[in-house]
């Protein structure tokens, strides 16, 4: 019986009597293409690949600025990180900016994770190309890396008078960007301990030690997958300042966390997704970001937070103009606009994160009295004194620290 | 075979055999293949070559990476992360077996017993694909929540005592345990098992089943001697379509698992994005590809079929 072979591509199912042409079969085709691939990708090409050093593009930062002719600015930000009106479709502060300056803001919420976003824009930045974005928001340690690699454009202080005068003292002059030559803070983020009252079921939580040690919380504790937040809180709990962390301190903190992981105390290392676990009660207590906690509290009265006596880790999400961006002046105007206390208040009232702008409190009180009195949004003196930032790490240190932390998380 | 009579060769051999097409006609099949070949070249061959090169490079983000034929990366990666490798294979195998156990009866029902409900049931099988993979996986966090009805019921029935003892779950919860990850994998890849099974079962000639009955075969015998052997191509392609993506998956382990359920996909993700150790990430990807290729080859050889539909 003549079998129909789907792999046979010739018009003639049998080979011609004189066999002038061998039939093209699936096997011969596979063989041929495998040979072709090997020929194209011979070992020579393997050597030819290679990844150029990331820092060599320092010269590319001088990009032509098209701000005069093109009245637009492309702004990439994290989700729910800007004020939205009741309808959920309009962004009042951005609209005010457009009305005042005539510059349209193309706003995209496409940053979900620092590492992931860096992986996404790295190839373009490394090749000296435009990423299509004029402003990006990165957490301080990544902003430091991008600046160090020469992938951020130097800002013109002349375009940033508000930013210069209104920047709050605690945000001024980070060691990785002296004088704010390349970056300005967008919002400050404090890492606190959040809990679900119902799930705690009477267990008292006042320090990070409680989370790591109390047997009643076994398997119901969450910590953050951001290395600096989780290890920083551990260091503080051990009486060490993350601003001056040494390799030995770091190893000790990892060992402390390792013990909790091995005991089964820690349920998961979470990103933003701890919020649903906490409201559901699967997590009784966890490390959490300040602004999230304020928003969660509004939706669920069982959620509460603790600022431990040992202190909290703070970080800053920063605005940067990436290399190759076409509209630097427009971007600077937008940055400066958000340093007007009125606009900063509107922003903080929505995001509930720490505003880096001085004089925001009276304006915030006009919008939302409770927000102005919340130490997670406008830190009072005691909270500010308890805040510690993680030291800026060299690329080599960061790789070693991240590797140790990754091993802790299971991979 | 039924398939042969139904689907004759698309181009009937009416043209005289001894006159092969001349000139450009000779090349027509290759021209038709060109888009496919290009696609493979750009989206498969080139990335594979690039990754192969990356896996033998050394360097750092700031100094750049150069090819130094540092094959030790492979050995280091394997000796460091073999537990995650083993776990991936184990979880994927469990999920594949579960998919087969759940999918076969369902595909059988739809293909041979559903009658006019067949199309509706097929739509229901495919319907989950209308929402995103991530959303579907997150839904399992609600289904398996610690205080949820399902976990409550399993606890009352003492099922969790058994699974705790087996090490599949811990502390009377399902989330953040191996069981949750395997459940997620099974759920997410079940349609990939059902669809090829359905295609295989659906094209079985009912006459053959009738003939088996006429020859006094009991239903169980008919299934064992006729239906199941004829559906083997579906079983093989179904298991492959389930096992291969499940072994490389990292979303389920990330969302439903814990520190002791991380799979090799999680390791690759961490190495690539967090630690920025591209050579190790590339080496791990290659090891995974090689391992899967090896297993699949052995499996296909042993199952004795080259038809995958």
Residues 6+ away with beta carbon under 8 Å from B57: A49, A50, A51, B65, B66, B67, B68, B70, B278, B279
| DSSP state string for A1-57 | -PPP-TT--SS-SS--TT--S----HHHHHHHHHHHHHHHT-HHHHHH--B--GGGG
Which residues of chain B neighbour A397 with C-beta distances below 8 Å? Answer: none
* Interchain contact, A46 vs B262, CB within 8 Å: no
Please tell me the predicted confidence (pLDDT) of residue A388.
Answer: 94
Residues 6+ away with beta carbon under 8 Å from A257: A212, A223, A230, A231, A234, A266, A408
pLDDT of residue B46 exceeding 50, the answer is yes
pLDDT tens-place string over residues B3-28: 444 444 455 445 455 555 566 678 88
Cβ count within 10 A of residue A283: 28
User: Do the beta carbons of residue A327 and residue A70 sit within 8 Å?
Assistant: yes
Which residues of chain A neighbour B84 with C-beta distances below 8 Å? Answer: 410-411
Exposure of B173 in the CB half-sphere (CA atoms within 13 A): 21
CA dihedral A175, A177, A183, A184 (to 10 degrees): 40
pLDDT tens-place string over residues B200-250: 999 999 999 999 999 999 999 999 999 999 999 999 999 999 999 999 999
**Helix, strand or coil for residue B305?**
coil
Q: Structure tokens of B241?
A: 């379509």
pLDDT tens-place string over residues A1-35: 344 444 434 333 333 334 344 455 555 555 655 55
Residue with tokens 């300042």: A241
pLDDT tens-place string over residues A230-263: 999 999 999 999 999 999 999 999 999 999 999 9
pLDDT tens-place string over residues A191-241: 999 999 999 999 999 999 999 999 999 999 999 999 999 999 999 999 999
Which residues of chain B neighbour A115 with C-beta distances below 8 Å? Answer: 273-274
* Interchain contact, A12 vs B176, CB within 8 Å: no
At residue A48 the predicted structure's pLDDT band, cuts being 50, 70 and 90, is: low
Please tell me the predicted confidence (pLDDT) of residue A203.
Answer: 94
Task: Give the whole-angstrom CA distance, residue B289 versus residue A152.
Answer: 37
Beta bridge partners of A305: A194
Q: Structure tokens of B307?
A: 């038809």
DSSP 8-class letter at A167: B
Which of the two residues, A57 and B164, has the higher pLDDT score? B164
| DSSP state string for A53-115 | -GGGGGGGG-PPP-TTT--EEEEE--TT-S---TTSS--HHHHHHHHHH--EEEEE---S-HH
ipTM surpasses cut 0.90: no
* Interchain contact, B8 vs A4, CB within 8 Å: yes
Choose the weakest-confidence range: A2-6, A121-125, B32-36, B139-143.
A2-6
At residue A62 the predicted structure's pLDDT band, cuts being 50, 70 and 90, is: low
Please tell me the predicted confidence (pLDDT) of residue B20.
Answer: 56
Please tell me the predicted confidence (pLDDT) of residue A13.
Answer: 37
Please tell me the predicted confidence (pLDDT) of residue B174.
Answer: 94
Mutate to test the interface with A, among B274, B297, B305 (most CBs of A within 10 A): B274
* Interchain contact, B274 vs A406, CB within 8 Å: yes
* Interchain contact, B274 vs A53, CB within 8 Å: no
Burial class of residue B39, CB neighbours in 10 A (0-12, 13-18, 19+)? exposed
Pick the CATH number of B84-265 from 3.40.50.1820, 1.10.260.40, 1.10.3720.10, 1.10.357.10: 1.10.3720.10
pLDDT of residue A321 exceeding 80, the answer is yes
**Helix, strand or coil for residue A186?**
strand
Q: Which of B40, B63, B267 sits opposite A411 (nearest CB)?
A: B267
* Interchain contact, B54 vs A12, CB within 8 Å: no
pLDDT of residue B2 exceeding 50, the answer is no
Please tell me the predicted confidence (pLDDT) of residue A195.
Answer: 97
Task: Give the whole-angstrom CA distance, residue A187 versus residue A376.
Answer: 12
Global pTM value: 0.84
Domains of chain A: 59-182+321-339 (3.40.190.10), 189-314+395-408 (3.40.190.10)
Task: Please tell me the distance in Å from B220's CA to the nearest CA on chain A.
Answer: 30
Task: Please tell me the distance in Å from B117's CA to the nearest CA on chain A.
Answer: 31
pLDDT tens-place string over residues A284-299: 999 999 999 999 999 9
């Amino acid at each position: 019986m003549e079998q129909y072979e789907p792999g046979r591509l010739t018009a003639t199912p049998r080979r011609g009597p004189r066999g002038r042409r061998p039939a093209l079969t699936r096997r011969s085709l596979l063989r041929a293409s495998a040979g072709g691939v090997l020929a194209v990708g011979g070992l020579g090409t393997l050597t030819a690949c290679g990844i150029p050093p990331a820092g060599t593009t320092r010269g590319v930062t001088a990009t032509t600025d098209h701000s005069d002719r093109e009245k637009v600015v492309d702004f990439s930000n994290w989700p729910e990180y800007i004020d939205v009106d009741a309808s959920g479709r309009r962004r009042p502060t951005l609209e005010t900016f457009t009305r005042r300056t005539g510059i349209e803001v193309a706003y995209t919420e496409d940053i979900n994770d620092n590492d992931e976003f860096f992986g996404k824009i790295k190839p373009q930045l490394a090749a000296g190309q435009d990423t299509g974005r004029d402003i990006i928001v990165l957490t301080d340690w990544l902003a430091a890396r991008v600046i160090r690699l020469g992938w951020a454009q130097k800002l013109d202080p002349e375009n940033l008078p508000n930013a210069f005068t209104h920047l709050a003292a605690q945000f001024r002059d980070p060691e990785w960007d002296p004088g704010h030559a390349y970056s300005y803070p967008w919002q400050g983020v404090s890492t606190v301990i959040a809990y679900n009252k119902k799930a705690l079921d009477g267990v008292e939580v006042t320090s990070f030690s409680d989370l790591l040690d109390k047997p009643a919380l076994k398997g119901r504790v969450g910590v953050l997958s951001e290395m600096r937040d989780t290890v920083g809180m551990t260091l503080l709990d051990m009486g060490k300042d993350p601003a001056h962390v040494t390799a030995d301190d770091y190893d000790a903190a990892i060992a402390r966390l390792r013990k909790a992981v091995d005991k089964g105390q820690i349920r998961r290392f979470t990103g933003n997704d701890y919020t649903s676990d906490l409201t559901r009660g699967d997590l009784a207590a966890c490390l959490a970001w300040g602004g999230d906690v304020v928003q969660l509290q509004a939706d669920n009265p069982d959620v509460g937070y603790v600022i431990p006596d040992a202190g909290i880790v703070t970080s800053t999400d920063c605005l940067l103009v990436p290399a190759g961006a076409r509209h630097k002046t427009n971007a600077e105007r937008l940055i400066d606009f958000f340093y007007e206390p009125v606009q900063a208040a509107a922003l903080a009232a929505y995001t509930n994160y720490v505003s880096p702008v001085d004089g925001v409190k009276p304006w915030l009180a006009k919008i939302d009295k409770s927000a102005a009195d919340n130490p997670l949004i406008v830190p009072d003196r005691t909270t500010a004194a308890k805040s510690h930032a993680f030291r800026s790490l060299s690329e080599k240190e960061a790789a070693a620290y991240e590797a140790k932390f990754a091993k802790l998380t299971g991979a | 075979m039924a398939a042969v009579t139904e689907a004759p060769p698309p181009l009937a051999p009416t043209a005289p055999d001894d006159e092969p097409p001349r000139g450009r006609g000779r090349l027509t099949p290759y021209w038709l293949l060109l888009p496919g070949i290009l696609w493979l070249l750009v989206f498969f061959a080139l990335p594979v070559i690039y990754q192969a090169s990356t896996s033998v490079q050394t360097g750092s983000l700031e100094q750049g990476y150069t090819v130094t034929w540092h094959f030790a990366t492979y050995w280091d990666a394997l000796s460091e992360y073999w537990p995650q490798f083993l776990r991936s294979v184990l979880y994927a195998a469990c999920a594949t077996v579960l998919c087969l156990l759940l999918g076969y009866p369902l595909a059988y029902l739809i293909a041979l017993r559903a009658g006019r409900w067949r199309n509706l049931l097929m739509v229901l099988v495919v319907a989950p694909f209308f929402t995103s993979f991530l959303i579907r996986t997150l839904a399992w966090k609600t289904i398996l929540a610690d205080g949820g009805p399902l976990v409550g019921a399993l606890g009352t029935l003492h099922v969790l005592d058994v699974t705790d003892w087996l090490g599949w779950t811990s502390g009377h919860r399902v989330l953040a345990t191996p069981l949750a990850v395997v459940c997620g994998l099974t759920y997410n890849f079940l349609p990939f098992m059902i669809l090829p099974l359905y295609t295989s079962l659906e094209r079985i000639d009912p006459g053959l089943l009738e003939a088996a009955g006429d020859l006094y075969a009991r239903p169980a015998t008919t299934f064992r001697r006729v239906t199941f052997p004829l559906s083997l191509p579906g079983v093989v392609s179904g298991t492959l379509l389930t096992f291969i993506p499940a072994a490389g998956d990292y979303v389920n382990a990330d969302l439903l698992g814990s520190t002791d359920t991380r799979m090799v996909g999680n390791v690759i993700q961490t190495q690539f994005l967090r630690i920025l150790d591209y050579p190790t990430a590339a080496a791990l990807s290659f090891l995974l590809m090689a391992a899967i290729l090896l297993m699949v080859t052995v499996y296909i050889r042993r199952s004795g079929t080259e038809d995958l539909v």
